[in-house]
Amino acid sequence: MSARPRVVITRKIPAACEEDAVKHFDATINREDVPLSVDQLKEALRTADGLLPTVTDKVTADVLGAEPLRTKIIANFGVGFNNIDIDAARVRGLTVTNTPDVLTDDTADIGVTLLLMVARRAGEGERHVRAKAWTGWRPTHMLGTKVTGKILGLVGMGRIAKAVARRAHHGFGMKIIFHDPYPPKPEEAKALGAEQKGSIEEVLREADFVSLHCPATPETRHLINGERLRQMKPGGFLINTARGDVVDEAALVAALRQGVIAGAGLDVYEREPAVSPELLAMENVVLFPHLGSATLETRIAMGMRALENLKLFFAGQPVRDRVV
Ligand code: DGY
């Protein structure tokens, strides 16, 4: 048996991370790059000292029930860890880590991209040109909604929300309002031109654009439901770069159809990679395939951060990003 810890990496990762992984670990990397089955995940837990899954691997209580359990640490490739049953991991005595910080800016950039695209009808306009349907400039052609000076409402005010606020306030002169049960310090909010509201409802009622930045937990599942969508301004836009579960996708489809809100920019979906077929047919939505952290630089940084957590753990040192 190799003296180096045995680690299973569930998907292809950037080359620099692969090199680092094979240098430090007896690493098995799923270069096929298709999701591992439940049985394959269980087998990994039975045979490896560490598991490096991604945010799409469902490490459920059933998977974590694998016997005999050899794995001691799950180093998630992602900041979100709703793919892992944290309570079951705790019960099994596992350490779980994530990759915060390194993807904050890229995810904020994608949030702002969605906001601009949906407001200015950029996806629709691009399709129009490619379809050779454009007949030329005219004063009333494809009019969108002005962004500069509008009100951006943030649901959740963690790292990514603050990075969005910074861009929106300092870049587009937007007024920022937010709700978070754990708000930032007043001076931090002030620097972002951000005003705290006492409830999500207040944010929904006042904002022209609502951007979601809360984690996916049982409490936040369908936080944005039909009732809350109806509290938004009729000309309002919803942006989701957080997790699909936070929005009731069927209710969102209904709200868009009925003109309850003006449009949506989505990077995440309730049943990824499936997207409601109704959304695919709507011009007033912009749809990305979970691109938040998808730059080479950031994906390398995420992989390195997950590997760093594994290295620290196997060296008997405190991990950097402990979730459990
Ligand atoms: C994460 O890390 O949670 C992101 O959703 C991946 O882009």
Instruction: Name the residue among 159, 201, 203, 158 with its Cα closest to residue 178.
Output: 203
Q: Please identify, by atom number, the ligand 1 atom nearest to the C-alpha of residue 80.
A: 3
The two three-digit tokens of residue 4, written as one number: 């180096």
Residue where the block lists tokens 């430090």: 24
* pLDDT of amino acid 2: 52
The question of whether 24 is a catalytic residue gets the answer: no
* pLDDT of amino acid 1: 46
Report whether the peptide linkage leading into residue 139 is cis, meaning its omega lies within 30 degrees of zero: no
* pLDDT of amino acid 3: 85
Binding site membership of 100 for ligand 1 (Cβ less than 6 Å): no
* pLDDT of amino acid 229: 98
The stretches in the chain having pLDDT less than 50 are 1
Number of neighbours of residue 122 by Cβ within 10 angstroms: 16
Binding site membership of 102 for ligand 1 (Cβ less than 6 Å): no
* pLDDT of amino acid 234: 93
The question of whether 222 is a catalytic residue gets the answer: no
3-state secondary structure of 106: helix
Instruction: Name the residue among 180, 142, 147, 144 with its Cα closest to residue 161.
Output: 180
Could you tell me if 241 and 111 are in contact, meaning their C-beta atoms sit under 8 angstroms apart?
Answer: yes
Rounded distance from Cα 64 to ligand 1 centre (Å): 22
* pLDDT of amino acid 228: 98
The question of whether 138 is a catalytic residue gets the answer: no
Could you tell me if 308 and 320 are in contact, meaning their C-beta atoms sit under 8 angstroms apart?
Answer: yes
Provide the phi-psi class of 32: left if phi over 0, else alpha when psi is between -120 and 50, else beta. Answer: alpha
Could you tell me if 152 and 177 are in contact, meaning their C-beta atoms sit under 8 angstroms apart?
Answer: yes
